[in-house]
Structure 1
Amino acid sequence: MKILTQHFNTKYDTAPFSQIKLEDYKPSFIENIASAKAEIDAIVNNPQSPTFANTIEVLDFSGNALDRLSSIFFNLNSAETSDEMQKIAQEVSPLLTEFSNDITLNSDLFKRVKSVFEQKESLTLMPEQATLLDKKFKNFSRNGALLSDDKKIRLREIDTELAKLKLTYGENVLAETNNYELIITEETDLKGLPEGTIEAAKSLANSKNTEGWIFTLDFPSYIPFVTYADNRELRKEIAIAAGKKAFKNNEYDNQENVLKIAKLRYERANLLGYETHSHFVLEERMAQNPDKVKSFLNDLLVKAKPAAEREFAELTAYAKELDGIDHLEKWDGAYYSEKLKQKLFNLDDEKLKPYFQLEKVLNGAFTIAQKLYGISFTEIFDIDKYHTEVTTYEVKDENNQLVAIFYADFFPRKGKRNGAWMTSFKSQYIKDGINERPHISNVCNFTKPTETKPSLLTFNEVTTLFHEFGHGLHGMLANTTYPSLSGTSVYWDFVELPSQIMENWCYEPEALALFANHYQTGEIIPQEFVEKIKESASFQEGLATLRQISFGLLDMAFHSNNPNGITDVKAFEKAVFENTTLYPDVAENCMSVSFSHIFQGGYSSGYYSYKWAEVLDADAFAYFQEKGIFDKEVATKFKENVLSKGGTEQPMVLYKRFRGQEPSPDALLKRAGLI
């Protein structure tokens, strides 16, 4: 147990994964919570008058061992979980919520914080210190410090219940994903599918001693199936299965959880004096309030919908001409879009994949980071991993100083949730003159290598890798004093800027030349393919934008109104989607019950931020294009004003310091072909 309650005696203070036993977690959480409480008590009982140093600063550095333990445990609960681990998560989440509430509802601690906050004007604080003081005060006021005792008790109850509900929601989605298999025994039913997808399905069937081929709801299996399988009935079967995850009135059904989460969030916001959950959340975002978000999404809708309707009509006509289909269904969208894209651009993923071998793409991302920011990545083999498939890297600067440790975990497996994300095992901060460097992880779900082929990525997966690597750079290049302001600890509608801007290099010939080599011949991707990738970048951008807007509006519908009148999740969702949907509704399907971003992750009232950040990233990349995509001066400005600064100042202040002006949406609309 001691291993998780002290400084790690390992190289670079990395997590000692191989030494951790499941039974160590809960006692370690209990011990680390007790130590963190003792640190809080020391602040409260300090006989000296409250100052920035003895209250605000000490508070930010408190609970370090608990933070590290939490990051290790919850990261593994997403990437390498088990039934036992999920049980521990259900047991420790309420303890952590209670501890968090013990801090924010500690009236004596708040008195000290408030005392420093009230001296703010007379203190000579650096911008980062002023931000920290503001953040600490708001952390109390926004979490109930100003409430009466009976309301504080109710707030604690809500937070404990929400923590458990969100965990259960995610576990249900994972269980439903794992519980479905499409077993194919007739070879003719594989028609249209790429060779690599067929091989992966065969390999999975062999591993389960099953005859034939197994397809699952994991993205590397599901996406190629609905995109390429000629058998429409089977596409329909797997698409409906994906759409009805946690919507089957069985033990994993999430309808009740959705309603409970939405209602508790609303009650919590009201308790704190806010009109709705969205009003509460958006106070700490660039967008500021629900009206601004809705107007942003609806303005985009006005521009995107005509394009989406044109694209849908074109797709419908194409499906009719090709296969005599009168009505396009949801399971037809990806299939006919891919066929139309091949017809228009003579370009499909199967042609491109041989040029995107995973290892080369990753090395390409490393090379681009080195050209822009002067950092190098070297694989190392002497630090612990939590799974054999994880690769580990030492990241160093031009003076050979350690910048970060980087973990890469790229393949699906049973205990790993779907999707792609960046996270950290250790934050960056400066204490006692030592700049503690961060430990950053990228987790994705790409197709595994087979006996005959390495892992080859679709172009969409290439952009996913670059996206998560952009988040990774935001974490790795962090250079702030305080842990709570470091790396990706920024406003949620700003956090996607570093990730989304990285995707732009995937479309640039100069960048592609660094990593897009044929895995067998070594040939660089042909120029005509590069041109077609660029041309096709805005293919069906209207439909894609409409889809993103619909998700943002659904999020706002649940959270910017009183949800107590919602009794039927499906009916509510259908009404919200009415203005953004072009495909016929599928009665058996419901999105809200597996919309993990907003009901399990941190995106509630924040899903709009993908589009918001696209405005920022298109505008920022336009600056790189003006000067050259590897221009050192622009890259240094971006690194110093955005990537390294974390949440130390207001995002718009940082952005304007980098760009010299506020962002204009024109660059995005132009890039998307919407103007």
Structure 2
Amino acid sequence: MAPQKLKKPPQSPPLFTHTPQGLMESTQRLLDRNQALQDRVVKDVSLSNADFKNVLLPFAQDTNEMSLESHIVGFYQAVSTDPALRDASTEAEKKMDDFFIESSMRDDIFQLVDAAFKKQKDDQSLDAESRRLLEKEHKDYIKMGLGIPQGPDRDRFKAIKKRLSDLSITFQKNLNEEQGGLWLAPEELEGVPQDVIEGLKKGENENAGKLWLTFKYPDYLPLQKYCKNAETRHKVFIANENKCNQNVELFKEALILRDEAARLLGYPNHATFRVEDKMAKTPKTVDDFLGDLRVRLAPAGLKEIEALKKLKQDETGSADNYFLWDYRFYDTLMLERYYQLDQNRIAEYFPLSTSIEGMLNIFEQLFGLVFVRVEGKDRADLSETGRGEDIVWHPDVHLFSVWDDEEQGSEFVGYLYLDLHPRDGKYGHAANFNIQPGFINANGTRRYPATALVCNFSKATPKKPSLLKHDEVVTLFHELGHGIHDLVSKTTYSRFHGTSVVRDFVEAPSQMLENWCWTPSQLRSLSKHWSYLTPEYREAWKASAAEGEQQPPEQMPDDLIQSVVRTQHVNDAIFNLRQLHFGIFDMTVHEPSSHAAITKLDASATFNRLRKDISKMDGPEVLGANDDWGHGEATFGHLIGGYDAGYYGYLSSQVYSADMFYSVFKKDPMNGKEGRRYRHTVLEKGGSQDEMQTLEEFLGRKPSPEAFYKELGIA
């Protein structure tokens, strides 16, 4: 716990007090200010005297200031309980996107940026981060069509960019607002954990006696993992694959428009346009990597499926097929039967509250941080309005002020928010959202960041706390890794802050930290049996225990820890083939042979065919269904939300994360000296320098894929 003197941060947390009307007014004010700045720079600066200081710097500083409000404007659509505020957030984001598309296509400003770039691109009197900003901003204008001559083609390019923005926002809104599910009879749910069943809404009238199972993670995943009724798993799987079919046409339109825009810029396809600025540089590099991994993994995947089919045969007497809706069920059964992995018993040792405390403690030891929970009167004291409820967007949200420990200088670092449970209209997966980036103010002082984890774990009940399965522990640790990256970053410009790195590196820091969830000492330190949390929970445990059963040990026993650790790579090939399916689908739809080819492409059929070819699992097509039986691309938010021609980054960044972990942390994961070196060498840099340079500085050499391949057993 931080010393008392650290408890009053030098910067108040942001306020979440917007009304729908106020949100739109704030947005317009920000855009008016930026418009005035653009006009002023064009009026005051000539091509002959244009330089970084009078052209790029004013815009960078305005972007810094604007980001303090603009990120929150867009954030409401992911977390607000007020539909009107979510709608206003969506509308405001569209308004901002349209404005910045117009702004980034102003030829008069581009001419000034171009003049400054030609004059100072190699100017060593500019610091390295400023030179990088100059280079990136100049490239952005080119990529926004300023290299296209004035005329119909440039006008068309602008129209495409605006439509793509609308498509992205509407696509994600449809996902956030999704309210689908199925009414199921209790007998259809045989095997599903009782605490999940107790949390389902009970039917009335024509649905009396039935239970409403949603497609949200806390309902859907336990059903797929534990439901013994294959027909129920099948029915729910198909319904889930078709839950947002209004996005099918939006996805297809985005593919066609992206391809057209890339060709207007002179690229052969959208993938070439997107990959150019990533670590991979060319689609061929990506395709070769994914193709090589596919060849290496395929034999192991088939072997794993054969073992799972044998298990299915033993259970059902028939195993001609291994279906997509068999995947999670028999994987879970295999872990329980052959590896003695009792997921529900393990979950008893991971109450959400103590798991978070344990994770934050690891980050404290590793990175020299201190997390101070802000609640009750402390919230009111921190709030600029004096009202504690104004500095969170929902009563369930946890808030921490984050500090350097004494050895690191006891300075303030930023704010961390945790929004952990599902609710209507909320973002449906697990993600880290930057609320306010850090940067250097115009007067030279530091602006501190605020970052939020938005997740969907089950809520506690009077009889039992929220308990995490081990894979949920890994997910939480992964997202917290993004949050730490966001908090400890120290860049001059908000553009490069934290996780604002290239897409094929952004996952590496969080993926590396996942290894701590497979380390025996860390599993023990994270664990605490839920019956020790409160006297009430102890009594609830007693009431549910068998007669004469002893209270379990407070921390996870060694046999249970080992049952977790030895399953780390069980069915790894199947999991990574699934990731390969996503990555290869992404590259396939963004590398058409011609524009005519993308207009004719059936994205749903392509998604399903590739899934069968790559994952080696059967879908409904073997039962006579057409190839468009499901529309997985309609829920593939990554490909509309910034990972287009970039999903491969989840796999390629594992190369970097494995290399960093095995080279530096494997022998001693809690080595604080190396943890602090990693913090300052990798996380602190954000995107302020070339990511390969960051990696090489940390490793002391070029990265190697050997640790990754060795970990998968395919070296």
TM-score over 0.5 for the pair: yes
| Aligned mates of 1:375, 1:592 — CA distance in 2 | 40
Q: Which residue is 1:592 aligned to?
A: 633
- 1:352/1:458 contact within 8 Å kept: yes
- The answer to whether the aligner puts 1:167 opposite 2:169 as a matched pair is yes
- The answer to whether the aligner puts 1:572 opposite 2:606 as a matched pair is yes
**1:446–1:596 CA distance, 2 compared to 1 (3 A):** same
| Aligned mates of 2:160, 2:340 — CA distance in 1 | 55
Q: Which residue is 1:386 aligned to?
A: 393
Q: Which residue is 1:328 aligned to?
A: 322
**1:261–1:114 CA distance, 2 compared to 1 (3 A):** same
Q: Which residue is 1:5 aligned to?
A: none
| Aligned mates of 1:322, 1:439 — CA distance in 2 | 50
1:102 CA drift (Å)? 2.8
Aligned pairs (5 A) from 1:135-534: 135-150=136-151, 151-175=153-177, 177-184=178-185, 186=186, 188-201=187-200, 211-247=209-245, 253-326=246-319, 327-381=321-375, 382=379, 383=383, 384-398=391-405, 399-431=409-441, 432-521=443-532, 523-534=554-565
Q: Which residue is 1:546 aligned to?
A: 577
Size of the aligned set, in residue pairs, is 654
TM-score by length of 1: 0.93
| Aligned mates of 1:331, 1:129 — CA distance in 2 | 51
* Equivalent residue letter for 1:43: V
1:671 CA drift (Å)? 1.9
* Equivalent residue letter for 2:434: S
- The answer to whether the aligner puts 1:623 opposite 2:663 as a matched pair is yes
Higher mean alpha-carbon deviation, 161-170 vs 615-624, is at 161-170
Q: Deviations over 1:344-386 (max 9, x none)?
A: 1101310100111111111111111111111111111214110
Q: Which residue is 2:700 aligned to?
A: 660
**1:122–1:596 CA distance, 2 compared to 1 (3 A):** closer
| Aligned mates of 2:462, 2:490 — CA distance in 1 | 43
Q: Which runs of 5+ in 1 are unaligned?
A: 1-9, 248-252
1:627 CA drift (Å)? 4.8
2:43 paired residue among 42, 45, 48? 45
- 2:401 partner SS: strand
1:68 CA drift (Å)? 3.0
- 1:121 partner SS: coil
Q: Which residue is 2:95 aligned to?
A: 95
| Aligned mates of 1:260, 1:83 — CA distance in 2 | 27
- 1:34 partner SS: helix
| Aligned mates of 1:482, 1:173 — CA distance in 2 | 32
Higher mean alpha-carbon deviation, 557-566 vs 133-142, is at 557-566
| Aligned mates of 2:244, 2:45 — CA distance in 1 | 54
**1:165–1:425 CA distance, 2 compared to 1 (3 A):** same
**1:122–1:437 CA distance, 2 compared to 1 (3 A):** closer
- 1:400 partner SS: coil
1:578 CA drift (Å)? 4.8
- 2:685 partner SS: coil
- 2:665/2:674 contact within 8 Å kept: no
**1:94–1:542 CA distance, 2 compared to 1 (3 A):** same
**1:225–1:117 CA distance, 2 compared to 1 (3 A):** same
- 1:539 partner SS: coil
- 1:446 partner SS: coil
Q: Which residue is 1:126 aligned to?
A: 127
**1:448–1:94 CA distance, 2 compared to 1 (3 A):** closer
1:401 CA drift (Å)? 1.8
- 2:525 partner SS: coil
1:90 CA drift (Å)? 5.1
| Aligned mates of 2:609, 2:398 — CA distance in 1 | 46
| Aligned mates of 1:570, 1:436 — CA distance in 2 | 45
- 1:421/1:443 contact within 8 Å kept: yes
| Aligned mates of 1:354, 1:347 — CA distance in 2 | 13
- 1:475/1:488 contact within 8 Å kept: yes
**1:391–1:300 CA distance, 2 compared to 1 (3 A):** same
| Aligned mates of 1:273, 1:246 — CA distance in 2 | 34
- 1:26 partner SS: helix
| Aligned mates of 1:467, 1:509 — CA distance in 2 | 18
| Aligned mates of 2:208, 2:508 — CA distance in 1 | 45
Q: Deviations over 1:12-46 (max 9, x none)?
A: 342221x3111212222122111111122222222
- 1:200/1:450 contact within 8 Å kept: no
Aligned pairs (5 A) from 1:10-25: 12-17=11-16, 19-25=17-23
* Equivalent residue letter for 2:98: E
**1:276–1:298 CA distance, 2 compared to 1 (3 A):** same
Q: Which residue is 1:35 aligned to?
A: 33
- 1:98/1:156 contact within 8 Å kept: no
Q: Which runs of 5+ in 2 are unaligned?
A: 1-8, 384-390, 533-552
| Aligned mates of 2:402, 2:207 — CA distance in 1 | 42
* Equivalent residue letter for 1:482: Y
TM-score by length of 2: 0.88
- 2:428 partner SS: coil
| Aligned mates of 1:97, 1:74 — CA distance in 2 | 11
- 1:285/1:492 contact within 8 Å kept: yes
State the percentage of identical aligned residues.
29
